[in-house]
Amino acid sequence: MALEGLSRGIFRSLGFLKNKRKLDEEELREMTRSLRRALQEADFNIRQTKEIVDRLESRLREEEPRVGLTMQTHAMNILYTELVRILGPSPEFQPRGATLLLVGLYGQGKTTTTAKLAEWYRKKHGLRVAVIEADVHRPGAYAQLSQLLEDSTVQVYGEPDTKDAVTIVRNGLKECAAADLVIVDTAGRHQLDDELVVELENIASLTRATDRWLVIDAQVGQAAGPVAASFHNLAGVTGIVITKLDGTARGGGALSAVAATGAPIVHIGVGERIQDLEKFESDRFISRLLGMGDIQGLIDLAPEDMDQEEAMRLTQRLMSGRFTLNDMYKQMEMMSKVGTIDKLMSFLPGSMLGGMGAMSKGQKEAMQGNLDRYRTIMDSMTAWEKNEPAKIKSDRIRRIARGSGVREKDVRELIGQWNRSRKMMKGMGGNRKLNKQMRKMMKDGEMDIDPSSFGM
């Protein structure tokens, strides 16, 4: 998940208040010292770090926790509100009829982000989307954009042999006149020089862009602030997309520095695939960061071709504990369409599923490897074996192992995992409140999860 290092640092810091019902001065000092270090390691600037820690300490002294809450949970709730306040709300973007201009420095991921945004608004809003490739300074920009969107219905316009960006945009606007949303990808530089300024001003004037978004790499850390301010002064930036937030320890600096400029964050890039884009909503993002989960966000990940009735049937069987390896296989297939284990778990409350949501990145990667191996093993099983895993004996285990190219130990491990999952899910099925919420989620497609269902 994005900013996993910061998440671990926060949990480690608030651990000083674990199981405490009253504030202890020494533990409070240790907690604030540790939290300050965690924020600075995530590249939050010194001023914001001091503001967050000071306000947390002040509110812990002044505000009594609600009845039944430990000091740790009370501190978590306060920290949540403070981080959401600093990052601010996201803007309301109306894509239909809009012309969106993407700007930014060289190497920040604008072209990839152009493709991601085009697919996002095509799929999520059902729009006819067109993109215009106006980067005439980077060889292969048009070819890259075309390749990224080759399996999409998004219209891609470009003139790879033309060196005048304004001419390309003018022609592109005519060709893409029927589109509901037009996205223009512009050139970048290593710095905001005079030539780039003039080019952007001319394109902005020509397109009469309704929105101008800055694309910026999370790896630049606190330097994101001055960059955002420069482009904001030039083009009147109305939104920011932060890329590569999944692969850097400096993401906290980029988020906080951009927030300090007052320019709102609209989307974040969390991976290399074209679907690895998220709408940034500070409250839901911070909820995931603090291990509180984002069930609605998980629902939003479901692909368009997801069979809702089949998903409902599988969920009911899982919650009852009466599921077979056939059901388990179908569940894995659905999960693979949504994303990796790491991505899925980042949307779950940390205490859910026996604490699986709080696993480390290494543990999640190991689990992903296990799931891939399990699917290979199940491909070598007969229908009877997948329906009756408890009855599989040694001779069958030997044959399945040979057929799938794994050890017999791996086959036994799969059967053991199925049995443990069955028992765990049967136990969850006995939680009436959670069972009711899960059924409602699958039926309505939206809900508010009650954290007490997970023992939070």
Per-residue pLDDT of the chain (456 residues; tens, 9 = 90+): 567 778 888 888 988 888 888 888 888 999 999 999 988 888 888 888 899 999 999 999 998 888 878 888 889 889 999 988 888 887 788 999 999 999 988 888 999 999 999 999 999 899 999 999 999 888 899 999 999 999 999 999 999 989 899 999 999 999 999 999 999 999 887 766 777 788 888 898 899 888 999 999 888 888 888 888 888 877 788 888 999 887 666 777 788 777 767 778 899 998 888 988 989 888 888 887 777 665 555 556 555 555 556 666 656 666 565 678 888 787 777 767 666 666 666 666 554 444 455 566 677 777 778 888 998 999 999 999 998 998 999 999 999 999 999 999 999 999 998 888 777 766 655 555 555 555 554 454 443 434 333 334
Q: Which amino acid is at 34?
A: S
Among the four given CATH numbers 3.40.1010.20, 3.60.21.10, 3.90.1170.50, 3.40.50.300, the one describing domain 98-289: 3.40.50.300
As given in the structure block, the two tokens for residue 107 are: 């190497």
Distance separating alpha carbons of residues 1 and 360, to the nearest angstrom: 10
**Angle, in degrees to the nearest 10, between helices 46-62 and 71-87:** 140
Please work out, in degrees rounded to the nearest 5, the angle formed at the alpha carbon of residue 297 by the alpha carbons of 132 and 269.
40
Backbone angles phi, psi at 269, to 5 degrees: -95, 130
As given in the structure block, the two tokens for residue 307 are: 């069979």
The edge-to-edge listing of strands for the beta sheet with 265-269 is 155-157, 129-133, 181-185, 98-103, 211-217, 239-243, 265-269, 277-279
- 265-269 and 277-279 strand pairing: antiparallel
Distance separating alpha carbons of residues 36 and 285, to the nearest angstrom: 20
User: In 3D, which of 9, 119, 110, 100 has the Cα closest to residue 53?
Assistant: 9
As given in the structure block, the two tokens for residue 58 are: 């002040």
Q: Is-contact 168 132, C-beta < 8 A?
A: yes
Distance separating alpha carbons of residues 134 and 140, to the nearest angstrom: 12
Given this model, what pLDDT does residue 421 score? 77
Q: Is-contact 456 349, C-beta < 8 A?
A: yes
Q: Is-contact 89 264, C-beta < 8 A?
A: yes
Two domains, one topology: 4-87 and 298-454: no
Given this model, what pLDDT does residue 118 score? 97
Q: What is the pTM of this model?
A: 0.69
- Three state DSSP letters for the chain: CCCHHHHHHHHHHHHHHCCCCCCCHHHHHHHHHHHHHHHHHCCCCHHHHHHHHHHHHHHHHHCCCCCCCCHHHHHHHHHHHHHHHHHCCCCCCCCCCEEEEEECCCCCCHHHHHHHHHHHHHHHHCCCEEEEECCCCCCCHHHHHHHHCCCCCCEEECCCCCCCHHHHHHHHHHHCCCCCEEEEECCCCCCCCHHHHHHHHHHHHHHCCCEEEEEEEHHHHHHHHHHHHHHHHHHCCCEEEEECCCCCCCHHHHHHHHHHHCCCEEEEECCCCCCCEEECCHHHHHHHHCCCCCHHHHHHCCCCCCCHHHHHHHHHHHHHCCCCHHHHHHHHHHHHHHCCHHHHHCCCCCCHHHHHHHCCHHHHHHHHHHHHHHHHHHHCCCHHHHHCHHHCCHHHHHHHHHHHCCCHHHHHHHHHHHHHHHHHHHHHHCCHHHHHHHHHHHHHCCCCCCHHHHCC
Given this model, what pLDDT does residue 453 score? 39
Given this model, what pLDDT does residue 352 score? 46
Q: Spell out the long-range contacts of 46-55 with Cβ–Cβ below 8 A and sequence spacing 24 or more.
A: 48/86, 48/256, 48/260, 51/86, 52/79, 52/82, 52/83, 52/86, 55/82
Backbone angles phi, psi at 133, to 5 degrees: -90, 105
Number of Cα atoms under 13 Å in the Cβ half of residue 456: 23
Q: Is-contact 429 320, C-beta < 8 A?
A: yes
4-87 CATH: 1.20.120.140
Would you kindly state where each structural domain of the chain is located, as residue ranges?
Answer: 4-87, 98-289, 298-454
User: In 3D, which of 151, 161, 397 has the Cα closest to residue 273?
Assistant: 151
298-454 CATH: 1.10.260.30
Q: CB atoms < 10 A from the CB of 248, how many?
A: 21
Q: Is-contact 292 305, C-beta < 8 A?
A: no
Burial zone of 161 (CB within 10 Å; 0-12 exposed, 13-18 middle, 19+ buried): exposed
